[in-house]
Structure 1
Amino acid sequence: MAERTVKLCGPSDAVKQIHDGDRVAFGGFAVYNKAMALTHEIIRARLRHLTIVGVANSIEVDMLVGAGCVDAVETSYMGLEKFGLAKNFRRAAQAGALKITHFPELISWDRFRASQEGLSFWPTYLLGGSDIVKYNDKIIPFPDPVTGRQMWAVPAADPDVALIHMWKGDKWGNLQTQPRRMNPQSVDITVSRACKRVIATVEHLVDTEEIMRSPQSTTVPSFRTLSVTHVPHGSHPTMDLDVVATDELHLQLYADACQTEEGFQEYLDKYVYGVSSFAQYLELVGTEQVKALERSGYR
């Protein structure tokens, strides 16, 4: 039997496992539970030509697009919800600098299920009642071999690497989801099963004994994990269910900064390039402001 491997590493070492041109999947959903510490490290590492494949994306992808890291995006949604449009994404799209492939939300999720099952496509009868097949030539019609009914083959997501922020983890890479979970945590689990390179940050680094006391919460076992990094508030400014709330002040600050390219560059220079770690970024945001986001489930 092979010996277990300690998966602990720092954020900068974690992103060394991502390569130019990779297909990168983020866990979380829209403006919830995004791996923002890893997003900052990707930008500082100046990775290029990435394809983002997702279910519903927001600030993490908008930031990477604005920083020049992304060539293509395959997802169902790109925006900041009540904070407005993802302006970096929109500018790049309008300039023709970004290849965008749109899939319906549930089908975007099914694409990861196809990868999880080792399938090259996911079969479906329905595509949300839209005209998406007129504009997405990656969705291929075929007859149901049993009934002859029209079906559609949606290509598998096939990410090279998945980036997730989890509630708890141990040094071996066993990762746990909080007892109550919703869409963002479910996406974490699905994308972790869709590829062999899972890079995780965790809110709490705990002993394996604590993991073993609640094995039902271990939704990403160690054999799926390439690395784990302890980054408290690693999803900031996005929320993590029952753990930390959304930092609405900082999300609004980001949205306002992104109204212009110059404003976004000033944001990057201050909050990403201007610090050497996510902990320093949080200090810059404000220790009291960040601490106030913690909720009852933080421990």
Structure 2
Amino acid sequence: MHESMLENGLDFILNAANLLKKAEDASNAEEKEKALKYCMLHLSSGIELIMKFRLYIDNWTYIFADMNKANRRDLDNGDLITVDYERCIERLNTLCDIEFSEENKKYLKSLRRNRNKVEHFITDATTEALEVSINNALTATLIFLQNNYEDMSFSIKDMETRKLTEKEKNLLSEIINVVSSLQEHHKEALTLAVKQASMVSLESELVECPSCREKTMVISDSNDKCHCYMCGYEAKGETAAREYLFNIEGVDEYSIVKDGGEYPLYICPECGKESLIEKDNTYVCFSCRMIYPATEIQFCSECNNPYWVAKDEREDDIGLCSACLKYKIEKY
């Protein structure tokens, strides 16, 4: 049960982000106040769970309120009193070497105080004050995720590794997607998206997404698709390449062909799919992720398809791709 703490925590944070978005879009004060109230409750619960999970990763005894009474049976049964909110922050700092800025500690503790008032009493805080408290705490939470879940895996018992589950990865992606639409948190969402994408591809190989235009799209991921870790856009390489040319480069196939020009989408010499484009003095395939220096790509004098010529083989190049060269040899 303790292993699902992170999943539950991320789920609460996702719900809080959706409620904050609902509050931003509310048409009246009553609707906004209700959304903020439940946002505060969910965000506070989510923060507590992801922090306790981080304690658990370092040492399972750390999540007990009284570590002297910690035992495995109670942990496995879920029959334990866990560390409270403020002491959890202290233990993360003193036992796990996780630093919180004084400002972020203040934001997290303020959220907890406001949460208790909202849950148990009639609070005198204004809607605007609650919204500020939530936004500040959400910023601190996103920074905590950036700093502590950067490599998407955690050491347990020195040698073992506990990686994020697919559910946890998906929840994190959904959080990024919702948070990116919030007025105050686009920058934090972008940082998280880049870090998540960088676990699949080198950051230098990320490309601009045709949908959200952020440089957070991975070419040819494990599903053989291009996937944006900011907005969730996903498409096969051929489709993503066309949409990239239109939305990012402003290249309209119809207009170019109509005027007798050449549409700059080519067949990749490696995978044979029409998903190769020229980008930043290189040719990049959106299907197989091959990257060729522009100086090493030549165009066949017969079929006009691109082919690769290594730097040390340029002097021997006769201007034909392998397919056309083979055809001519067999013909004559």
Q: Per the shorter chain, which TM-score range?
A: under 0.3
Using the size of structure 1 for normalisation, the TM-score is 0.24
**Which of structures 1 and 2 has the larger relative contact order (alpha carbons within 8 angstroms, sep 6+)?**
1
Using the size of structure 2 for normalisation, the TM-score is 0.22
Q: Which of the pair is proportionally richer in strand?
A: 1
Larger gyration radius, structure 1 or structure 2: 2
Q: Which of the pair is proportionally richer in helix?
A: 2
